[in-house]
Amino acid sequence: MMRRGIAWIAVPAMLAGCDMVAGDPDPVATATATPAMTATPTPTGTTPAEAQGGARQVNEVTDTFVFDYSYPKEAGDIPGLARWLDSRLERERNRLAQQAARGQREARDNGFPFNKYSSGAEWKVIADLPDWLSLSAQIDSYSGGAHPNYGFDSIIWDKRENRPREPMSFFTSAEALDDALGDRLCDALDAERKERRGEQYDPAANDSPYDDAFSACVKADETNLLLGSSNGRTFDRIGIQIAPYLAGPYAEGTYEFTFDMTPELLDKVRPEFREAFTARN
């Protein structure tokens, strides 16, 4: 699945049943609560969510790593989606174990202290529609550097065809989406940058303390794209999550915005998905 530069930071935006507008500072504050999850041991080739349904939470602590992975009941109750999520769980856990073991050996061989590696993914529901389940993930990792990395992921589960779809695949092209959304995203991003950086922020100034990458606009396909709903029937919102190092330095954290679907954006939706979207008045 496309990573969108999974460029690391957290807090997935919640786009369901809320009244956020572009530039709202804390989209996660409106997240729909999911049922309490029961911790389970790390799987060894089994898929308990498929067999039992429901939410799943895994936490494993070893001498070399800490691994966390969870998803909500709405996802676990769909067998195909549970298998998909569990396969990612297995892959990420195995990757972490291998990297941590290698890091421990290298630290020992070079006389350096070793700090445990870590990896975590927390999937949440963005919108649960009759034919679609929109999910976002908070992802974090640490592999011995100066600070942990953290980022985003998202997926739309097609309940009719029992398969995952990338949010961007609902649109005719990344360029078309950027053409319809780009100005609104750029304006919202510049306004938020100025709010955070103060009067010193001037993207047109040659002596700006920020390099061009931290003053330039960001294209929609470079971000983590979310599809949300305020009505429980159709997608009528688009969420944008921008990780550190993409729009600003690590210390600035994430940039997150929510935009209502407009007729112009609807024109960029692929015909076969058009009935799943409506404009929001």
Express each pLDDT in 24-54 by its tens digit: 333 332 333 333 333 444 443 334 444 467 9
Enclosing H/E stretch for 96: helix 79-110
Quick check: 105 pLDDT over 90?
A: yes
> Which pLDDT score is estimated for 18?
37
Nearest Cα residue to 127 out of 236, 268, 223: 236
CA dist., res. 137 & res. 104, Å (int):
28
Express each pLDDT in 120-169 by its tens digit: 999 999 999 999 999 999 899 999 877 778 889 999 999 999 999 999 99
Pairing of strands 39-40, 56-61: parallel
β-sheet with 132-142: strand ranges across: 39-40, 56-61, 65-71, 117-128, 132-142, 149-158, 163-165
User: What band does 77 get if pLDDT is binned at 50, 70 and 90?
Assistant: very high
- Cβ-contact 164, 84 below 8 angstroms: yes
> Which pLDDT score is estimated for 145?
76
> Which pLDDT score is estimated for 269?
98
User: What band does 98 get if pLDDT is binned at 50, 70 and 90?
Assistant: very high
Quick check: 12 pLDDT over 80?
A: no
> Which pLDDT score is estimated for 170?
98
Ordered structural domains, the chain, with CATH:
31-165 (3.30.565.40), 169-276 (3.90.640)
> Which pLDDT score is estimated for 3?
36
> Which pLDDT score is estimated for 250?
84
CA dist., res. 190 & res. 183, Å (int):
11
Mean pLDDT of the chain: 82
> Which pLDDT score is estimated for 118?
97
> Which pLDDT score is estimated for 53?
77
Nearest Cα residue to 153 out of 227, 226, 229: 226
Average pLDDT over residues 262-278: 97
Residue 39 vs residue 191, higher pLDDT:
191
Both tokens assigned to 233: 């029937």
CA distances from 255 to 13, 24, 100, 262 (A): 10, 10, 30, 22
> Which pLDDT score is estimated for 38?
37
Average pLDDT over residues 101-110: 96
> Which pLDDT score is estimated for 149?
84
Quick check: 213 pLDDT over 50?
A: yes
Express each pLDDT in 227-252 by its tens digit: 999 999 999 999 999 988 888 888 88
> Which pLDDT score is estimated for 205?
59
